[in-house]
Structure 1
Amino acid sequence: MSYIYVITSLTQFYRYIQPELEKYNIEMMMEYFDSNQQIQIKVITTESLKTQLLEYDHQNLGFYFLDKEQKINKHQIYDDEYCIYAIEGQGGRETENALEKITLRVISKTPDKNIKRFFSAIKRKLNQDENFAQGIQGDSRLYQQHYYLKSYVGEKVFKSDFYNDKAPALTPK
């Protein structure tokens, strides 16, 4: 499975990858609790993002990038037939003084080529953008694969999980 780790707000990340969403015909869907406390998913647009983020404030909620042509519903995302068209996301919450790491994961070991291209395009864009730096402190090779927006260094605390007080803060190299 492939992963991308980005330390930025979900709002900023959504705007950042907007051209790639359009180019590869991908939609972002975000989980929320309905009135019966059941998890549902809703398509995100630039206009609805702020409102949807208010409903996203729960540790078990995530988001997805799905191929628009497949018309995937929330019950199909992890099915073998449809997971090849999906990328799972977690994190991206923001407070006045902290940011939560965004984790993107290609669900399938054999993803559809359009999803693979979209995922690669995000990684390529992050690698080429001089506003982003790569690597946080830690011994594992995994820590070298984290991207963060340079402008947030010293301004916000980087966290791996907003809901786990024992999770260490992430420190840029």
Structure 2
Amino acid sequence: MSYINIIMPLSEFYPYIQHELKKYQIEMAIEYFDSDHKIQMKIATPDNLQEQLSQYDHPNLGFYFLDQAQNISKDKIYKDEYCIYAIAGEGGRETEDTLEKISLRIISKTPDKNIKSFFSAIKRKLNNDENFGKGVQGGSRFHDQHFYLKSWVGHKFFKSDLYNEKAPLIIPK
């Protein structure tokens, strides 16, 4: 499985990857709780993003990047024939003084070519953007694969999990 970890708010990440979303015909779906407290999913657009994010306030909620052509519903995302067209995401929430990292992972071990290309395009964009730093403190290769927006360093605390008080702070290299 492939992973990307980015320390920036989801409210900024979504507009940041608009070009890639359009180019690869990918849509972002954000989970929320309905009135019966069941997890539902709604496609995010530039017009409804802020409304969607206001409902994205629980540790069990995530988001997905889905191939538009497949018309994948919530109950199909992890099924073998559909997971090849999906990327799972979590995090990206923020408070006044804290940012939660965004974790993206390709669900399938054998993803569709378009999903794989979209994922690679995000990684390439982050690698080539001088506004992003790469690597956080820690002793493994995993820590070298974190991206963070340099402009947030010193202004907010970086956490891996906003809802876990014991989650360690993430410190850029």
Aligned: 1:150 with 2:150 = yes
- CA distance in 2 between counterparts of 1:100 and 1:150 reads 15
**Structure 1: tracts of 5 or more residues without a match:** none
Distance 1:116 1:52 in 2: 26
**Aligned residue identity for 1:125:** K
DSSP 3-state at the match of 2:76 = coil
Residues 32-77 of structure 1, C-alpha deviations (whole Å, 9 max, x = no match): 0000000000000011110111100000000000000000000000
1:132 counterpart residue number: 132
Tell me the equivalent position of 1:111. 111
Percent identity of equivalent pairs: 67
SS in 2 for 1:96: coil
* Runs of 4 or more consecutive aligned structure 1 residues displaced over 6 Å after TM superposition: none
Map 1:12-91 → 2, pairs under 5 A: 12-91=12-91
Report what 2:162 is aligned to.
162
For structure 2, list consecutive stretches of 5 or more residues without a partner in the other structure. Answer: none
Distance of 2:11 and 2:47 partners within structure 1: 11
Instruction: Compute the RMSD of aligned alpha carbons.
Output: 0.4
Deviations 1:90-132 (A, max 9, x none): 0000111110000000000000000000000000000000000
In structure 1, C-alpha distance between the alignment counterparts of 2:39 and 2:96, rounded to whole Å: 27
TM-score normalised by L of structure 2: 0.99
User: What is the one-letter code of the residue matched to 2:53?
Assistant: L
Count of equivalent residues: 173
The aligned residue for residue 98 of structure 2 is 98
Q: TM-score when scaled to structure 1?
A: 0.99
SS, match of residue 130 in structure 1? coil
Match of 1:6 in 2: 6
Counterpart residue identity of residue 36, structure 2: N
